[in-house]
Amino acid sequence: MTLSYILRRPYKGIIWIAAWAGFLLLFSCATVPITERRAIHLVSDEEMTALSFQEYTKVIQQSKLSHNPAEVSMVKNVGVRIARATEDLLKEKGMAEDVRNYKWEFNLIDDPKTVNAWCMPGGKVAVYTGILLVAKDETGLAVVMGHEIAHAVAKHGNERMSQGLLAQLGGVALSVALSTQPAATTDLFLSAYGLGTQVGVLLPYSRVHETEADKIGLALMARAGYDPREAVPFWKRMNEKGGSRPPEFLSTHPAPETRIREIEAYLPEAMKYYRGK
């Protein structure tokens, strides 16, 4: 069906678009590990991983990496432990294929003013030195890295990217979007991982992702041998660090009180994964 046909017959065009969107939603759903929420993924893991490796390389090349041996070693140690726990847990759940192409990498970026960390598809992780003061130790850092790796394992970036392709580019295939609108498509990818300008239409979903990443992250850190109960004091410290915030309904993150309350409610389940108790 051509664009001119849709313009000549707008009602039929709307029906066609709705049918196409329904087809995409029906046949592009996937299950999130642990929470078992259903999510739409229009982009293949291979495509997301290729984009990830490309953009991660750019970020690392443009950043100042830390040369503090103790801090760099701590980041890599925590990362490796959680990566192994992730692979073991997904294997047990019959989802090992989800991380088959992961090439884990953990870098510490020397930026004391940035309290942040993130993980791209394929296991590409960056931690900023600014968050180490809040983390305080390995267990606090495990809260952070478990949460960020959970975002990647749950394929939240794929889901956000898919939502963007539907909302802004009409649900076209990623390869088509990259060839016809490369800049817009790259911006979609970066915003999906919090590395670019936030796309307004995606904000409501981000709070769901944050809560889900908290739960999955607790399970991952617990399986790696870190006490998940330490997540509560970590987020309290993060709350103190954060200062003033917008109202929860305008934020991409849950309000601190909400987050801590939900973490406390999930701790009994997370403790089932904890082998260091």
Catalytic residue ranges: 148
**Cα–Cα distance between 136 and 140 in angstroms, integer?**
6
Per the structure block, which two tokens stand in for 139?
């267990």
What angle (nearest 5°) sits at the alpha carbon of residue 146, between those of residues 140 and 147? 95
Q: Are 192 and 160 in contact (CB under 8 A)?
A: yes
Per the structure block, which two tokens stand in for 108?
């510490």
Tell me, rounded to whole angstroms, the distance of Cα 187 from its chain centroid. Answer: 16
**Cα–Cα distance between 46 and 106 in angstroms, integer?**
20
CA dihedral 181→183→188→189, nearest 10 degrees, is: 110
For the sheet with 105-109, list strands across it: 105-109, 124-128, 117-120
For 271, residues 6+ apart whose C-beta sits below 8 A from its C-beta are 222, 228, 229, 277
What angle (nearest 5°) sits at the alpha carbon of residue 182, between those of residues 193 and 156? 20
> Which single residue is written with the structure tokens 């001119």?
4
Q: Tell me how crowded residue 163 is: count the other CB atoms within 10 A of its CB.
A: 20
